[in-house]
Amino acid sequence: MSLLVVGLSHRSAPVSVLERASLVGDEQAKLVQDTLAAEPATEAAVLATCNRIELYADVDKFHAGVAELSTLLAQHTGVGLDELTPYLYVHYEDRAVHHLFSVACGLDSMVVGEGQILGQIKDALALGQELHTAGRLLNDLFQQALRVGKRAHSETGIDRAGQSLVTFGLEQLAQGAPVAEWARGKRALVIGAGSMSSLAAATLARAGVAELVIANRTLERALRLAESLAEQHAATPAAVSAAGEETLRGSLVARAVPRDRVSAELPHADIVVSCTGATGLVLTATELRTALAQRAACPPGAHPAAADVSLLDLAMPRDIDAAAHRVEGLHLVDIESLAEAAAEPSGDPGSSAGAMATDVDKVRAIVSEEVAAFGAAQRAAHITPTVVALRTMAADVVASEIARLDGRLPDLDDKQRAEITQTVRRVVDKLLHAPTVRVKQLASTPGGAGYADALRELFDLDPQAVAAVSRADGSARTAGPNDPKGGRT
């Protein structure tokens, strides 16, 4: 195992750099494909979220791997290598495993313990499998990371400390008031219908907003989200209007509109949440000032009388102009301000500091235990092809000797030949049993990789035969659920 990760996150880089370094469109796919095409990587996967970009690879040379992965990150993010390098971190082998397992448990998140990262790790694995850039090592690693994250959430109270970035952002907007009290009766506009925007819409619906408008580039997706939320809150659908809107009325008024209708909805919104994949600004400061002026001109009762318009920008790069921070009447919370709030002692609301520290310590113990188990399993798996090649060689020797015996003693009957064959096989199996079992045990210990080399040297095994077993094993592990090989995914 030669696992290497090179990346940057909210812990190593300022938001201004993370924003510029974000991967948009199909850049994630291009990055892993280019990583696999470059030496010295043989596997590749990318974990890209709103506050981290990490490139994982199986490499055969550490220094060359770091240089290559760093260069690829710079090329695909568009940030110069000289500018990017000071913010990059590097983890290798067991430290890389420890890092990903910690990330999966939410220990490295902006909001400690948040669970959304598990979905993002699952997406990273799915992309690697789809593009065939994730082989045996990365498949095992990411699948185990998902299991470790789930174990941490089920066996500890890390959920008490952790929460979604959406919830954390809304709490910052509420400025100490309970989110349900702060949001009740307000009108909310959610721009985007992806996973983060959908979570924001669902959270606002539960908090009791009076009206929820979903604006999305694809109206159909926004309609599905609005309908789902309305049904959950005992709403019934009304007719589709000529403007392409669908109103769903009940305890929650939910509407879906095309994204080009955002400017018309802004003057009526008390809360705006935006998280799209746009490469440019979705809302400029000028557009927001215009909306404020239109809002002020609305007749009494046309919208809830909120003192400010609350803006939550969860996109990276940002959707909402940072200049909105300086516009009177607007209260903007974005990734940068969330990072600052999370760094403060009061930035992790929910449980007491003592309980949270206990939960974090429990999760760290789980991570350490799982890293040790993963390392042992990988080291043991590393020697398996050598053991298989040894036993294959022994079987070939037995077959060759039995064939030679047939030539020298052609009068043996079938029963005698079968008994001799079985006896020879038993002798060979007994001679090989103890050393192969012991070498597997030794290989699972730290530094045990050398035992495979020793076994190959002692028995003069053909390196190509060992490599063939490794390739077959890797192919079986990466085959899809419908693949005739029946491999794992």
- Listed in sequence order, the residues at least 6 apart from 135 whose beta carbon sits closer than 8 Å to its beta carbon are 42, 43, 58, 474, 477, 478
Phi-psi region of 239 (alpha: psi -120 to 50; beta: other; left: phi over 0): beta
Residue 339 has φ and ψ, to the nearest 5°, of -65, -40
CA 143 – CA 122 distance, rounded (Å)? 8
Which of 105, 73, 78, 74 is closest to 4 using CA atoms?
A: 73
Q: 3-state class of 51 per DSSP?
A: coil
CB 104 within 8 A of CB 124: no
**Which letter, b or e, does each residue of 411-444 get, where b requires 16 or more Cβ atoms within 10 Å of its Cβ?**
eeeeeeeeebbeebeeebeeeeeeebeebbebbb
Q: Is the dihedral of CA 96, 100, 102, 107 positive or negative?
A: positive
Q: Is the dihedral of CA 123, 125, 130, 133 positive or negative?
A: positive
How far separated are the first and last CA of the chain, in Å rounded?
Answer: 19
Beta strands in 267-397 (DSSP E): 271-274, 309-313, 330-333
Token pair of 419 as six digits = 């008994």
CB 181 within 8 A of CB 375: no
CA 285 – CA 338 distance, rounded (Å)? 20
Token pair of 314 as six digits = 């969860």
Token pair of 117 as six digits = 């990262």
Residue 50 falls in the annotated catalytic set:
yes
Report CA 400 to chain centroid distance, whole Å.
51
Residue 462 has φ and ψ, to the nearest 5°, of -70, 120
Between CA 59 and CA 69, with CA 63 as vertex, the angle to 5 degrees is: 60
Please give the DSSP secondary-structure letter assigned to residue 108: T
Residue 29 has φ and ψ, to the nearest 5°, of -65, -45
CA 18 – CA 16 distance, rounded (Å)? 6
Residue 10 has φ and ψ, to the nearest 5°, of -60, -20
Which of 245, 288, 248 is closest to 266 using CA atoms?
A: 288
Query: What H or E segment, with its residue span, contains residue 32?
Result: helix 27-37
Inter-helix orientation angle 62-77/27-37, to 10°: 150
Q: Is the dihedral of CA 67, 69, 74, 76 positive or negative?
A: positive
Report the catalytic residues: 50
